[in-house]
Chains A and B, each alone.
With several copies, the nearest count.
Chain A
Amino acid sequence: MSPLPAEWRALAGAVEAVLVVATEPVPPRMLAELLELPVEQVEQLCAALAAAYEEEERGFEIVRVAGGYRLQSHPAYQGYVERFVLDDSPQRLSPAAMETLAIIAYKQPISRAQIAAIRGVSSEGVVRLLAGRGYVEPVGRDQGPGQAVLFGTTALFLERLGLDSVADLPPLGQFVPDSAAVEELEHVLRLRGEE
């Protein structure tokens, strides 16, 4: 049997039954209400269940994504799944679109003008593309003059990246060029006589 404590089996069964009918990630709070358990216990239960699936080498797994738990196929069986469902996922994003998405993800809420200032080019078309894909959406308006529309990322964005929340994005600091790289850039721009 699974490494799950026996007295948890009924509760785990309830979680399995709910996840099998859910079409969106199920927030732990919702499971807690259904199971009449504290949220922390639900989280322990789901973590234990996920670990058990992994150990049993199941074809599915439980992941925490976009603020909830989701049942999905295990990457190990990707080959079978791919042959079964014809790929319906949208086209990969271009590097420029991905870069804009990264700017919005890390700097949200952010206006088109602020995005353009970072990228050095107008980002109107790219922002529209990302909004069309459902990765970003208007989340408010700037308080300043002009009241620019501010953009943020969506739950679909988190689902597509397999993240639980934007707090789980890899820290931006790790992408800042290291001092050698900055020095190299600086070298390019250096004035004569300072060498």
Chain B
Amino acid sequence: MGYEVRTEVYEGPFDLLLRLIAAQEVDVWEVRISEIVDAFVAETRRLGAIDLEVATEFLVIAATLLELKCRRLLPGRDDVELEEELALLEARDYLLARLVEARTFQGAAQALSRLERAASRSTARRAGPDERFERCAPDLLAGVTPEDLLAAACRALAARPAPRVPTEHLPDEEVSVQDAIDELVATLPGRGPVTFRALTTSASPAHLVASFLALLELYKRELVELEQLSTFGDLTVTWKAPSAALQAGS
């Protein structure tokens, strides 16, 4: 099964914050951020999984709150740079706008619930035409065979495979950086300066990446010299160590 977190019960960080503000009726000075974090952690535990989007959104809010609170705890504002102050005001406006929006839709949702409740006090007539009118309507099953029905059943029952990330475009080959290092160490010595492009003419993208990482590793070990004359220009590789140094170095 695909990765899925049930978030129908958990109503989101804005809601949490709104409820907290409503419950405490205090300003950020008195908001206990540890309580918010505890509530969030408890909720996550209850759900048994972490939704990265939820967690990220929560972090943004918690961090903004924390920052606002730090400012309030600071003795004065002389030491606060104007730019920082502006950034903070921006963060506050952002949070405020989103809280207002969240509360607006909470109100709208309640109104929709009321409409639904009112509407559910009536039941629609669904009886349809009686047998006297049977022959008026065209026979929808005209020409339909049991085989058509079987095909439709197969379509319906097979129609919804679990959501998945298609991976068939990814090559199956496994390329390790170590393999690429071994390859380079086998080819480079005694070859003189050579471009990376020439070294990897027929390499697959995965192989190319592994070779590049291998090259960086060799450079770090001071076994090769790299030279690139212009941005995005050709990368020239020169072997500089005797092959014995490699064994000693690794």
Direct A–B contact present (CB less than 8 angstroms): yes
Interface residues of A (CB under 8 A from B): 19-23, 60-61, 63, 70-75, 78, 81-82, 85-86, 89-103, 105-106, 116, 118-126, 128-129, 131-135, 157, 159-163, 168-170, 172, 174-177, 179-193
Give the residues in chain B near A91, CB-CB below 8 Å.
138, 140
8 Å CB interface, B128-179 against A: 128-130, 132-134, 136-142, 144-150, 152-162, 164, 168
Which 3 A/B pairs are nearest by Cβ-Cβ distance?
Answer: A175-B107, A162-B119, A132-B128
Q: What are 9 A-B contacts with C-beta separation under 8 Å?
A: A73-B123, A81-B123, A89-B137, A95-B109, A102-B112, A102-B156, A105-B112, A172-B157, A175-B107
| Docked-complex contact B125 and A20, CB < 8 angstroms | yes
B96 CB, min distance to chain A CBs, angstroms: 6
Task: Report the bound CA distance from A157 to B73 in whole Å.
Answer: 50
Q: Which residues of B contact A102 (CB under 8 A)?
A: 105, 108-109, 111-112, 149-150, 152-153, 155-156
B105 and A162 form a contact (CB under 8 A):
no
Residue of B21, B71, B137 with most chain A CB atoms under a 10 A cut-off = B137
Q: Please state if B145 and A161 are interface contacts (CB–CB under 8 Å).
A: yes
Q: CB-nearest residue of chain A relative to B150?
A: A170
Most buried by B among A70, A132, A162: A162
Inter-chain contact A161/B141, CB cutoff 8 Å: yes
Q: Is the CB of A94 within 8 A of B12?
A: no
Contact status A188-B21, CB under 8 Å: yes
Is the CB–CB distance between A175 and B157 below 8 Å?
yes
Point out the residue from A135, A163, A185 that lies within 8 Å of B146, measured CB to CB.
Answer: A163
Q: Tell me the minimal C-beta distance from B181 to chain A in angstroms.
A: 34
Please tell me if B246 contacts chain A, counting CB pairs below 8 Å: no
Q: Which residue from B12, B71, B132, B146 sits with its C-beta under 8 Å from A161?
A: B146
Interface readout for B32-54 with A: 1 if CB under 8 Å, 0 if not?
A: 00000000000000000001011
Asked if residues B153 and A106 are in contact (CB atoms below 8 Å), the reply is yes
Q: When chains A and B are docked, how far (Å) is the Cα of A116 from the Cα of B95?
A: 15
Residue among B14, B28, B154 with most chain A CB within 10 A: B154
Query: Given A102-B149, A121-B7, A190-B27, A72–B106 Cβ distance below 8 Å?
Result: no
Q: Is B124's beta carbon under 8 Å from chain A?
A: yes
Are B104 and A179 closer than 8 Å at their CB atoms?
Answer: no
CA distance A179 to B109 in the complex (A): 20
Q: Is the CB of A70 within 8 A of B136?
A: no
Query: Which of A20, A98, A122, A182 is most buried by chain B, counting CB atoms within 10 A of its CB?
Result: A98
Tell whether, in the assembled complex, residue A183 and residue B162 are in contact, meaning their CB atoms are under 8 Å apart.
Answer: yes
Q: Which of B53, B71, B115, B137 contacts A191 (CB under 8 A)?
A: B71
- How far in angstroms is the closest Cβ of chain A from B87? 12
A78-B116 CB under 8 A given contacts A133-B137, A189-B68: no
Given A93-B141, A103-B156, A175-B111: A182 in contact with B100 (beta carbons within 8 A): yes
Most buried by B among A19, A73, A101, A172: A101
Indicate whether B11 reaches chain A with its CB closer than 8 angstroms: yes
Structural contact, B103 and A172, CB atoms closer than 8 A = no
Q: Which residue of B lies closest to A22 (CB)?
A: B127
Closest A residue, CB atoms, query B57: A120
Measured in the bound complex, the distance between the Cα atoms of B101 and A118 in whole Å is: 7
Q: Report how far A94 CA is from B156 CA in the complex, Å.
A: 13
Contact A105 B149 (CB under 8 A): yes
- Could you tell me if A105 and B21 are in contact, using CB atoms closer than 8 angstroms? no
Say yes or no for B244: interface residue by CB 8 A criterion: no
Q: Give the residues in chain A near B228, CB-CB below 8 Å.
A: none
A57 to B84, CA, bound (A): 68
- Alpha-carbon gap, A176 to B53, bound state (A): 26
Q: Judging by beta carbons under 8 Å apart, are A172 and B155 in contact?
A: no
By CB atoms of chain A within 10 A, which of B9, B74, B95, B120 has the most? B120
B207: Cβ under 8 A from any A Cβ: no
